[in-house]
Each structure stands twice: as C-alpha cells, then as structure tokens.
Structure 1
Amino acid sequence: MAVNPSAPPAISCKGVWQVFGVNPKKNLDRAWQDTGGNVRETALLLRQHGLIPAVQDVTFDIREGEVFVIMGLSGSGKSTLIRTISRLIEGTAGEIRIGGEDILAADAKRLLALRRDKLGMVFQHFGLFPHMTILDNVAFPLKMQGMATGPRRARAAEVLELVGLKGRETARPHQLSGGQRQRVGIARSLAVNPDLWFLDEPFSALDPLIRRQLQDEFLAIQADLGKTAVFITHDIAEALKIADRIAIMRDGIVVQIGTPDDIILNPVDDYVREFTRDVPKGRHAHVETIMTCPDPLPAMPDDPKLSADMTIDSALAACMALYQPVPVWGRDGQMAGVVSPSALAGALKAET
C-alpha cells in the first residue's frame, strides 16, 4: 500500500521525554526552565542530579501505511522510545497522538482497549505460552476480546497461513525452531488486525539466513496488509531493506530522519556516516536521488531505459551495456580474453 503523505499522521510525537529517576517530571520541568529550554543542557543537568534522560525532546510524525524504522546503538533510547509511544512505560513529558487521540491522557480502561484493538506488538523474545498449541497462542488476544471459539480459531488459522505456518496449528512452541516461533509472534500480533504494528528488534536473535527470510516475509505481509509499522533495529542493512523512513538515535536524541537514500547519501554527521560506512551505496541508493532536471530536458542519443526507482548499480549495468567488449591483458603482456563493461557492472551488482 502506498504511503499518502497528505493524510493525517497515524502517530504524532511532539517534545517527548522519558526520564528515569526520582521525581522525573518535577526535575525535568525545573531543568528545562533553568536552561531556557536547551535540550542538551537540560539532559546534562538531569544527569548531574542522578537522573537518566533516555529520550530527549523527540518530535516526528509517522504516516499512515508507513514502515518507520528507529535505529541506533545499544543504549541510544530506541526501545525506550517505542515503549513510551505504546505507553508500556509512562512518558515523562510531551504529546503522543495515535489517530489524533492523545494516548498520554487515556485512562487505564481506554489504554487497554487501544492495546487490545488497535496495537499489534512483536518483541525480540517470543513470549509464547508453552502449554498452549500454536493455534491457541495466536488466538489468545481474540479470546481476551471475547470472540467466540469458532471465529477466533478460524482467524488464528488464517494468520498462521499468512506467515507460512499452515499445518503446524497443533504443535507446541518447543517443537518449533526459533524462526518459526517468531512467525507465531508475528501472527499473534496480527490476529486482531491492528491499525498499528510495533516491532522491537523482532529478528535480532535469529541466525542471519532465517533473519533475511523473515525480513522478506515481513515485507510481503506489509505489502499485502499496508499496516503502519514502527520497527526497532540496530542493523543498518535491515533498516535500509524494510524502511520507508529511518530515524537514527544517539544518546536519547533523534539525530536524523530520512529515507534510506537520504541516510546513505546525505548523513548529517559522523555518527550517521559511520553507520553507513560499509553500506554498498549503489545497491541501496536510487537514480532519482542523484539525477538532475535541466529545463528544457535535452535530446539524448543513447537511451538505456533507466527508471527513477532503479538502484544505482542497476542503472550502471544498463548504461554499460551500451558499450562494446574490451580486451583483457595477461601478466605476460599477451591478450588473455575479453570482458564487456556490463559484465563488470553486473559482477559488482551481484556482490553480497
């Protein structure tokens, strides 16, 4: 589902703080006043008084249908932020709106209804009930909603098929692999058909091959369902693969928000640049981010049929296909063979 940039935000955060310690709200208000509203000086003053400003003055909107990835190193505040947005922990200050509703003002009853009906959550640790079958694990949120046995089991079977576990309905969690158990967690989060999908490093404990497979499955599910998703990771390759936009955090502060192309090609500082240092830019960045738009557009004699959404690697390979093979010389000074420029470009593109 395409993201509609003109639609009202699915999630809106304004000036969100999460401070841990004694009397966090009172101390934050005092520090904010004493520093004249300077974020860094406020955080420094809080630390001097023994408090931990885990999330500092975070502001952003998440669009309907968007996969918004929050990433950073361990201790950057990314998991604390997603728990604050979902009110698994109480925010210290700021405003968080979901679908226009201020959830920081929601009472316990309303918050329970939001989590039950609108929010789907997946965490790194599967949290499955070991005594229940896979089907009953997935159906459990529907049972909490009061849905009758027949319909809830039918819905659980439907989402198990969606995540590729049809035929394993009667298995117990200990009979499944780690990747399969994570699929159960994903299915359970989707059982109630939530409006918002929160995923906190859901694949980080898995082997690389299984992780890539689940990333592909996540993208396929997202393409089919079009959920608004907030995805936490510390892996830049994972972020670039699945994100519509990425927010990079450092020490509780969001230092850059942008598309994968923005993050790769225009890092705002050395911290972001270090994240992307080993990223093969040609495989992730796209032609539209580096093309120019002269007016009028000139006539072009050679046309390799590039499209704006091609990766730079693919575009390079297409351009190089216009040129003839060239000789390759051996160490003895004799001609050893020929190679086409397109083969050279294609070999770079195929690197993993």
Structure 2
Amino acid sequence: MENEFSYIIELFRKSYGGILTPGEREELERLLENEQLRHVWEELERGDLARESVRNGDLFSCQRGSSEFKRLRKVRKYRKLRQYVAIGVSAAAILLAVNMVFTWLPSLKKNVKQNLFATVPDIFPERNKAYLLLGSGDTVRVTGDKKVFQDKNGAQIKYDNGALAYSAGEEPEEAVYNTLMVPVGGESMVTLADGSKVWLNADTRLRYPTHFTGDERRVELEGEAYFEVKPGSSPFIVHTSEGDVRVLGTSFGVRFFEKEGMLTTLVSGKVLYRGRDSVVLEPGEQVVVTVTGEVRKREVDVDEYVGWKNGTYVFDRRSLEEIMRDLERWYGVKVVFVQPELGALPFTGYIKRYDKINTFLKLLESTGELSYKIEGKNIMLYKK
C-alpha cells in the first residue's frame, strides 16, 4: 500500500515537471478520476496546499462557509442553468474540502486502498436504438445501418444514423400509420411526411401517419419528445391520454408518462393545450398536468425540460429521485436508494447526456452526502 501511495506521488511530481511518459500520463488521467486525488493534485500544482497547511484549521467556520454558499446561490439564482457548476446540497462539506484539502491526506491512503484500484464498470447510453412498426404489420429494427424501404402505401422511408425520414408516395385511400418505439436506453429522430421533425427520448412511443390527410396533422405520444413543427395550413396535434397540444408551427417539448403526469414546454411560437382545461402557452411557459388531474401554467427555464435534445440534462433544485428516474431510462439502469430519504435530496446542475453515468455518480459522491456501488446495471446509493 505504501508503494502504491508513493507511486501516486511520483506521478504527481513527474507531471509538474512535464516528464511523464505516454503510459504514465494515461495512468495519471485514470487516477485523477478520483475526486479527492484530483483536488489534491490541483492544489499542489498551484502551490496552495503548502500555504494552506500552515494555517490554523480552527480559523475556518463551517457555519460561515454555509452562509457564503447560500449567498452565492442567491446571486446566481437568475442565471441560465447552463452556466451553473454542478453542485449538490452539502455546501459546507464542499467548501470545507476546497479550503482545507490538506486534511484529506491522512485518510487518502485508506481511500486509495479501498476504492482507487478497484475496477468499476463504465455505463454509457446505448443511443441509437429503436423499432419501427409498419402499417403492413412488419417490425423493422432501427440500427446504425443505413436503410431504405417502403411501407405498404408506397411511402419511402430512409434511415441513417438514428434518424428516419419519410417521402410520401401517392396519397392513400385511407391513412396508414407507423409507430416508432424507442426502448429504455435508446433514442431516435424522425422527419414526418410534412417536414416536421420529432426527437424521441428513451422509453417513448410515437404513432403517426405516413401521409397527412384531412384538416389536421395528428400524432399520438407516450413518453418524451421534442417537436419542430413545419408551418402549414392545417393544425398539428400531439395527442396524449391527458389531453392534446395544438399548434400551427412551433418548437416545443411534450413529456407524458402515465405515473408522472404530463408536461408541455414551449420554446417558440404558441401552443394550445386542451384537456381537462384549456391553456395557451407563450415561449418560456409550461403547462403541468399532475397525476391527480390538476392543470397549471408556469414560467420555466426551457433548457431544464428540453435540454436533453441538445445533449445536456439540466436540473434546478430537482430531487435526486426525479433525476435518477430520467437517468434510469436513458442509461438502462436500476437505481436503488438504500436509505429512502436520499431520494428527497435536491440538486442543481447539469450533466452531459452522452457521458458515462459514472461521471455523475462521482459528482454526487463529492458532495459528501452519499456514495454509490455499481453491480452490473444496478446502482446502489447510500449514505456515507
């Protein structure tokens, strides 16, 4: 164990002197995935660790640190969430770690022995993964391969790198419907026959006609999707069992899961929600339909609800249970709270959608509130 710790210090020394070999540089990058080691490495690089270690630790007040964090949160309250540094609720623990990093050193060896050299599997999202149920009754597995095929009414369907596009054939005598099914851990995108584009998140089903006819353009949604509707003479309607969203040409997100209620978030244009009540939305507004049937409108930061389409999950004072519910769908994992009360902890921040979930878990661990264990596709969260 002493040899392992000495090896880490030697890697640090070589990195500051710029004499690491390619193999040593790769090993150092792996080691610095450990949050504690990275902080120590950064403090040593700046020279702050030596200066800080001669100060009296009693001069630092946890209460003062917590007050300062709250003050900073108040100042930042109205900034865009994309500018936030991901932060957990344990502010005092974070400030204490940053200002007194030298106090980690006595426990660092034990941490290295227990965790650093253990192999933890990386869990990435599977990304492009979906199934298309054709009007003919056939099911096509949508994979990374390019495909061109026709449905029974002659509509040509092209698939390339996760995206479907329709080129309508002759107008059919009756509507022919396809259903795009995205399982847990997948995503897909489809350009409908009218040119409207739909991005589907994990665990989502979209039913739509291969050719729009009549005086409306209607699709049916269960799950989460982002729409960019091409303007047209007939209204575009997204139907869910909790009501319809009616537009002419606009950008918006719809989320409906049976046990979670419904959200419609408007990015641009104007939409009308029609269900138990009727609500008109302006950009930056959202209609919420709760599982109990309550309907209300509110102003939101749209990035928090449609940022996933552009590769970022954003959350503002969201409970860990809610956050993990989304990540379970995206990464195809099962999260267990060993202590149920952990699910109520609120967090503010953002994560990259295509990064491994391990990065987010390490961020959670760095708050000092909890730790985690990965076994296959099961993730256990527990108090430190």
Is TM more than 0.5 here? no
Q: Relative to total residues, which structure has the larger helix share, 1 or 2?
A: 1
TM-score using structure 1 length: 0.28
Higher relative contact order (CA 8 A, sep 6+): 1
TM-score (norm 2): 0.26
Question: Is the strand fraction higher in 1 or 2?
Answer: 2
